[in-house]
Amino acid sequence: MLSLALAGKPNAGKSTFYTAATMAEVDVGNYPFTTIDANRGVSYARTECPCLNRDQRCDSDNCNDGKRYVPVELYDVAGLVPGAHEGRGLGNQFLDELTDADAILHVVDASGGTNEEGEPVEVGEHDPVEDIDFIEDEMDRWLASIIERNWETVERQSRSPDFDIDEALGEMLTGVGATEADIATVLRNIDYPTDPLGWTDELKRSLASDLRAQTKPLIVVANKADIASDGNIERLREAADIVIPTTADGELALRRGAEAGLVEYDPGDESVTISEEVSDQQREGLEQIQDVIDEWGGTGVQQALDAVVYDVLDQITAYPVENETKWTDSKGRMLPDAHLLPTGSTPLDLAYAVHSDIGEGYLHAVDAQEGRRISEDHELTEGDVIKIVSTAN
């Protein structure tokens, strides 16, 4: 499963985002370092279910009238302050927790109501644009310090006659969550000596930051958009590539309201239907959230998850089925599973994602929407419904 981490300054709203996105109970408080141990849970990316192309909607628990929710792992870690790589705040422990994240949702308090350390100040007093770069900088320094610590080992290995710099770096960097492909991509773009003694500190640092950019892509969640000035949001948008104005608090209220039957709302919807039963005060609160939704196209929570999964990590959703006409599994359930795969994936990749045995016994695949066989190296696209024929099924 893809793994997404919520990172950012203390008090930015990470745990609120996490609670809204997973509906798990965690501590939320208006003081720094409310969260100490990472919370891990399941959240979802939203897409259009292929059942919309049929007369009948599917019966998956993760589909609501064609709104399909595909599971991803989300985790909420302790707040990070400048200097974390040197152990400030809860420092290094937090950074280590990012090792297995595929991407990072950087939660920023766009209202400027918390200072550099995450302590509450007057709304607008702190400039959130100043918060944008420090996470990447902290991660770069953290990675650089790991590389520095392990460099001696690489130097020692280089005395052996069959030493290979790429192999040695590969071994070292897989430990911080990089794949062989990541390492190859990064090394292709820098010029470096084959003798580890010839590497300058600057070169090691640029290896660290290139690797971070490759393995930890990031978007900015401009949270507390309900109380942030439009000017702040605009300036954040100028300062980073992908910025999603968000009210995590608002999303949480809507999800709880939906659970209690007070509103009709599915995560990611652009409108909310408020029941007659709410109190005047509840109605006022809900209407304020609707204002944020109208202004930014959603509360931002679902939009941020979708942006990371589909735009940043470039995933597609594929639906394996056993029956290519009914789109069902062996138990007759229609479109029971959805798999996220990187763009460019093939039916064989999908087979392996379902189960390694299915992949190993792969014979051929059928595109169930088109009703025709497709080759092993055919490139899958978003929403493909695929029957895999394998010796293992």
Ligand X SMILES: Nc1nc2c(ncn2[C@@H]2O[C@H](COP(=O)(O)OP(=O)(O)OP(=O)(O)O)[C@@H](O)[C@H]2O)c(=O)[nH]1
Interface with ligand X, residue 199, by CB under 6 A: no
The residue among 34 and 232 lying less far from Mg ion, judged by its C-beta, is: 34
The residue among 250 and 267 lying less far from ligand X, judged by its C-beta, is: 250
Interface with Mg ion, residue 15, by CB under 5 A: yes
Closest to 123 (Cα-Cα) out of 135, 134, 109, 137: 109
Q: Which does 226 bind (CB under 5 to 8 A by kind): ligand X, Mg ion, none?
A: ligand X
Residue of the chain from 215, 223, 303, 317 that contacts ligand X (CB under 6 A): 223
The residue among 142 and 352 lying less far from ligand X, judged by its C-beta, is: 142
Q: For ligand X, what does the binding mask look like between residues 61 and 90, x meaning CB under 6 A?
A: -----------------xx-----------
Interface with Mg ion, residue 34, by CB under 5 A: yes
Interface with ligand X, residue 13, by CB under 6 A: yes
Interface with ligand X, residue 196, by CB under 6 A: no
Q: Which stretch binds Mg ion (CB under 5 A): 28-36, 50-58, 67-75, 300-308?
A: 28-36
Closest to 174 (Cα-Cα) out of 211, 138, 120, 149: 211
Interface with Mg ion, residue 39, by CB under 5 A: no
Interface with Mg ion, residue 47, by CB under 5 A: no
The residue among 89 and 196 lying less far from ligand X, judged by its C-beta, is: 89
As a whole number of angstroms, the distance between CA 268 and CA 301 comes to 7
Interface with ligand X, residue 245, by CB under 6 A: no
Question: CB of 78: closest distance to Mg ion in angstroms?
Answer: 7
Interface with ligand X, residue 248, by CB under 6 A: yes
Interface with ligand X, residue 35, by CB under 6 A: yes
As a whole number of angstroms, the distance between CA 236 and CA 12 comes to 15
User: Which residues on adjacent β-strands are paired with residue 243?
Assistant: 220
Interface with ligand X, residue 227, by CB under 6 A: yes
- Residue 340 Rama label (left phi>0; alpha psi -120 to 50; beta): beta
Interface with ligand X, residue 347, by CB under 6 A: no
Q: Which does 30 bind (CB under 5 to 8 A by kind): ligand X, Mg ion, none?
A: ligand X
Contact 20, 265 (CB under 8 A): no
Interface with ligand X, residue 97, by CB under 6 A: no
Looking at residue 362, the DSSP 8-state letter turns out to be E
Interface with ligand X, residue 303, by CB under 6 A: no
Instruction: Please give the structure tokens belonging to residue 154.
Output: 């690489």
Q: Which residue is nearest to ligand X (CB)?
A: 79
H/E run at residue 3: strand 3-8
As a whole number of angstroms, the distance between CA 203 and CA 362 comes to 44
Question: CB of 286: closest distance to Mg ion in angstroms?
Answer: 25
Interface with ligand X, residue 384, by CB under 6 A: no
Instruction: Please give the structure tokens belonging to residue 52.
Output: 């919309």
Q: Which residue is nearest to Mg ion (CB)?
A: 35
Residue 210: strand, helix, or coil: helix
As a whole number of angstroms, the distance between CA 52 and CA 198 comes to 59
Q: Which does 11 bind (CB under 5 to 8 A by kind): Mg ion, ligand X, none?
A: ligand X
Residue 218: strand, helix, or coil: strand
φ/ψ of 273, rounded to 5, equals: -105, 120
Interface with ligand X, residue 95, by CB under 6 A: no
Residue of the chain from 1, 30, 133, 332 that contacts ligand X (CB under 6 A): 30
Q: Which amino acid is at 114?
A: T
Closest to 116 (Cα-Cα) out of 227, 32, 222: 32
As a whole number of angstroms, the distance between CA 341 and CA 12 comes to 31
Q: Give CA angle at 212 (70, 99), nearest 5°.
A: 60
- Count of residues in contact with Mg ion, rule CB under 5 A: 4
Cα-trace Rg, the chain: 23
Q: Which stretch binds Mg ion (CB under 5 A): 31-39, 157-165, 219-227, 339-347?
A: 31-39
The strand pair at 67-76 and 39-48 is best described as antiparallel
List residues binding Mg ion (CB under 5 A): 14-15, 34-35
List residues binding ligand X (CB under 6 A): 10-16, 28-30, 32-35, 78-79, 223-224, 226-227, 247-250
